[in-house]
Amino acid sequence: MASKPLWTYEAHTLHDLFCEGAVSAEEIVTSHLARIRAVDASVGAFLYVDEAGAVAEARRQDQWSAAERRERPLSGVPVAVKDNIVTQGMPTTAGSKILGEFVSPYDATVVVKLKQAGAVIIGKTNLDEFAMGSSTEHSALAETRNPWDLSRVPGGSSGGSAAAVAAQLVPLALGSDTGGSIRQPSSYCGIVGMKPTYGRVSRYGLIAFASSLDQIGPMARSIRDARLLYHVIQGADRHDSTALSSAGDRTVSGGPWRIGVPREYFGEGMDAGVRRLTEAALERLRGMGHALVEISLPHTSYAIATYYLIAPAEASSNLSRFDGVRYGMRAEGRDLLTMYEKTRDEGFGAEVKRRILLGTHALSAGYYDAYYLTAQKVRTLIRQDFDKAFQEVDFIVTPTTPDVAFRRGERDDDPIKMYLGDVYTVTANLAGIPGLSMPAGVADGLPVGLQWLAPGLADTALFDAAATLEPQMEPMVWPMGVEA
């Protein structure tokens, strides 16, 4: 029997202990539920915790033989799911009022895969409304705080998932990443988060934000755990025609590698602690025998403008389905149009409205060419920047964000400032390539993230590469005393 609390263990260790029969799934799950009860009133990571369902599933798994446990790679392991991923039998809100009492009649493909792999789904985590935001402050339903400093944001939009993993409420969580929404909160909370190559993971059952950019990905406290979760959720899906069916993994040599350091990612506006820890990580890579190569991604400075046209345009179309008719809340009106308008006015928050209006404008007659089509052409240039870079280098390493977690309320009144924090992450979504954030260390008590970028389809190679650096880094000391 374990000497330290089970909620402190990583997922692969919990799974091994369960397979060996050293602990029961019920002990694992009740330990995590107790941790949630002790801590989540201060952190606010979860919107919904399915205590009864999780315990019932654990008891069911406790009946399994050793072989049955072993053949399911996540048996006995508690997992949290971002609340824009639909789940049968639990509410799904997308952090919005407009979904009302919605309970999905089906599971997202990633949730089906989690269940098949034996994961015990603990609950649903908070997010910026429809994943639109970088702080989780735009959730219409709850506040989530950074476990390292409760006066600060956890990042976003997958802030609930990041906070849940960092506060050790769960060892694993799913997030979604449209412009950095897995990697940025992972950086702010000191965990590992990975956005797969576009199409590696099915989006079926992910409430669509920007369909050409969205990907679901893993969040964990180690690269090994993130890779374990990634391998469970990835793969083709008959319900999502963009889920890759034919393309195999792209391999990268075992090294030493040529590691690209893009000069555009080290400009002004970077926090001093971020710069120091990023440079220290790069020095470690050099010390491991890899070559650091200065590269240029010349269209980087246009990425935010490109993203903030393409993503709202796609969002304005995707969110047209919330009309008070088929699911969610309805505000009554005397005719259909009035009902639509009142429902959407009452149901959507300010940031969502801002983006719907921006996107509708960018797609409207007379403006389409100037905004949406122009942004798609610049997207081509950004992709070509990466294509060219990856002819010269195996991986690219950058900071994940220019800064550390900021104080709650600090960026409320300035959308541009909020958007600019995504400058290092949006490019991977625009180019469709995989990106991973891992902890680079802690500066003045707050975690700093290091981002790895790899060529499209080199997802497994990306995990392998980052895993070689992990043991060279100072081990993370997770915040324990987050009880208020």
Partner 1 sequence: MELSDREILHVARLARLRLTADELQPLRQDLNRVLDYVSQLQRLDLDGVEPTLHAANDQAPLREDVEAASLSVAEATKNGPKVAQHMFLVPRIMEGGSDGE
The reply on whether position 391 binds partner 1 by CB under 8 A is no
11: amino acid identity, one letter: A
235: left (phi over 0), alpha (psi -120 to 50) or beta: left
Residue ranges in 204-243 that form contacts with partner 1 under rule CB under 8 A = 212-213, 236, 238, 241-242
The reply on whether position 410 binds partner 1 by CB under 8 A is no
Q: How many residues bind partner 1 (CB under 8 A)?
A: 81
CB 79 within 8 A of CB 120: yes
CB 172 within 8 A of CB 11: yes
Among 129, 323, 394, 459, binds partner 1 (CB under 8 A): 323
The reply on whether position 298 binds partner 1 by CB under 8 A is no
Residue ranges in 188-207 that form contacts with partner 1 under rule CB under 8 A = 197-199
Among 188, 340, 390, 452, binds partner 1 (CB under 8 A): 340
Q: What is the Cα–Cα distance from 285 to 291, expressed in whole angstroms? A: 8
Residue 363: CB minimum distance to partner 1, A: 9
Q: What is the Cα–Cα distance from 337 to 323, expressed in whole angstroms? A: 10
Among 348, 386, 424, 463, binds partner 1 (CB under 8 A): 348
CB 314 within 8 A of CB 210: yes
Among 342, 368, 470, 473, binds partner 1 (CB under 8 A): 342
Residue ranges in 136-165 that form contacts with partner 1 under rule CB under 8 A = none
Residues 48-77, mask of contacts with partner 1 (x by CB under 8 A): ------------------------------
Q: What is the Cα–Cα distance from 140 to 294, expressed in whole angstroms? A: 43
229: left (phi over 0), alpha (psi -120 to 50) or beta: alpha
Residue ranges in 354-383 that form contacts with partner 1 under rule CB under 8 A = 354, 356-358, 360-361, 364, 370-371, 373-381, 383
Number of residues assigned to the chain: 484
The single residue of 157, 161, 176, 437 carrying the catalytic annotation is: 157
* Maximum pairwise Cα distance, the chain: 71
Residue 63: CB minimum distance to partner 1, A: 27
Q: Rank residues 4 and 326 by Cβ distance to partner 1 and give the closer one.
A: 326
The reply on whether position 245 binds partner 1 by CB under 8 A is yes
Residue 289: CB minimum distance to partner 1, A: 31
Q: Rank residues 275 and 361 by Cβ distance to partner 1 and give the closer one.
A: 361
CB 46 within 8 A of CB 207: no
Q: Which residue's structure tokens are 């800064």?
A: 403
In the residue annotation, 82 being an active-site residue is answered as yes
Residue 379: CB minimum distance to partner 1, A: 4
The reply on whether position 321 binds partner 1 by CB under 8 A is no
Q: What is the Cα–Cα distance from 160 to 45, expressed in whole angstroms? A: 4
In the residue annotation, 377 being an active-site residue is answered as no
The reply on whether position 308 binds partner 1 by CB under 8 A is yes
Residue 259: CB minimum distance to partner 1, A: 23
Where would I find the beta strands (DSSP E) of 296-411? Answer: 395-399
413: amino acid identity, one letter: D
Beta strands across the sheet bearing 192-195: 46-49, 120-125, 78-82, 172-177, 215-220, 192-195, 435-443, 446-453, 395-399, 258-262, 291-295
Residue ranges in 420-479 that form contacts with partner 1 under rule CB under 8 A = 429-432, 456-457
CB 206 within 8 A of CB 214: yes
Residue 340: CB minimum distance to partner 1, A: 4
Among 38, 51, 70, 102, binds partner 1 (CB under 8 A): 102
In the residue annotation, 342 being an active-site residue is answered as no
The reply on whether position 341 binds partner 1 by CB under 8 A is yes
Q: Rank residues 6 and 352 by Cβ distance to partner 1 and give the closer one.
A: 352
Q: Rank residues 335 and 483 by Cβ distance to partner 1 and give the closer one.
A: 335
The reply on whether position 244 binds partner 1 by CB under 8 A is yes
Q: Rank residues 332 and 483 by Cβ distance to partner 1 and give the closer one.
A: 332
The DSSP call for residue 208 is: P
The reply on whether position 97 binds partner 1 by CB under 8 A is no
The single residue of 96, 134, 181, 187 carrying the catalytic annotation is: 181
Task: Tell the burial category of 444 from Cβ atoms under 10 Å away from its Cβ (0-12, 13-18, 19+).
Answer: exposed
Question: Which of 360, 384, 397, 362 lies closest to 302, judged by CA?
Answer: 384
Catalytic residues: 82, 157, 181
